[in-house]
Amino acid sequence: MRLCCCALALFFTCGAVRAQSLPAQSLTRGAWELEPFVGGGTGLGHSDSTQFLVAGGRVGKIITANHLRGWVRGNFEFAADFMPLYLVMQPAGMVYGASFKPVIFEWNFTGKRSFEPYAYIGGGVLFTTSNVPPGNTSGVNFTPQGALGFRFFQRPRRAWVFEIQAVHISNASLGHLNPGYNGSLMFSLGYSWFK
């Protein structure tokens, strides 16, 4: 009986250590991240009648080793997103668009857990087939944003990813009017491979 209990304890301990070390095994300096994702969201405030639907992919590279201590311990990743599907559903109708986000500065919190939080700031460009918002605005908008996300590792170098983004959409006065969407809340679900 005692031998059986020791074997069970060893099994669960090894499993827990393995699960806790998955972010550390995957998020190493020089590793590439590839992630397809889908998502959506809504405008906030005066633009709460506008919704968004997106699909695309992310490519990132971890460019530093781990730094700092405690809960802020982590590493720095540089990434870019491409979204060939970026639907803007406004009261005036649906507008098709595509977005490229070439600048994402991300901090990965690499503690010993089976999930790993991260935060980033980034910026990109949204191209649409009609003006967004409608009116005498522009079909080209800029998308500065910040995000919080979580990677849920189930095995080394593989993780489900959930992300919450606060996005500002503005044409930076490329059009005659620049009402923009001062605030939008976006959510996405993806799956990451680390190479």
Q: Among candidates 95, 172, 174, 167, which has minimal Cα distance to 138?
A: 174
Q: Among candidates 54, 33, 51, 31, which has minimal Cα distance to 43?
A: 51
Say what the pLDDT of residue 64 is: 94
- State the pLDDT confidence band at 2, using cuts at 50, 70 and 90: low
Higher pLDDT: 182 or 123? It is 123
Say what the pLDDT of residue 174 is: 81
**167: its two tokens:** 């996005």
Average of pLDDT values for 119-137?
Answer: 93
Provide the 10 A C-beta neighbour count for residue 116.
Answer: 23
DSSP β-ladder status, 145-155 and 115-128: antiparallel
Average of pLDDT values for 151-157?
Answer: 89
**pTM higher than 0.85, yes or no?**
no
Q: Which residue has the tokens 């060939």?
A: 84
Predicted confidence (pLDDT) per residue in 66-115, tens digit: 888 888 889 999 999 999 999 999 988 999 999 999 999 999 998 767 78
Say what the pLDDT of residue 86 is: 97
Say what the pLDDT of residue 103 is: 97
For 12-27, b where at least 16 C-beta lie within 10 A, e where not — what string? Answer: eeeeeeebeebbbebb
Q: How far is CA 170 from its chain centroid?
A: 20
**CATH architecture of residue range(s) 2-194:** Beta Barrel (2.40)
Predicted confidence (pLDDT) per residue in 13-51, tens digit: 444 444 445 777 788 899 999 999 999 999 998 888 999
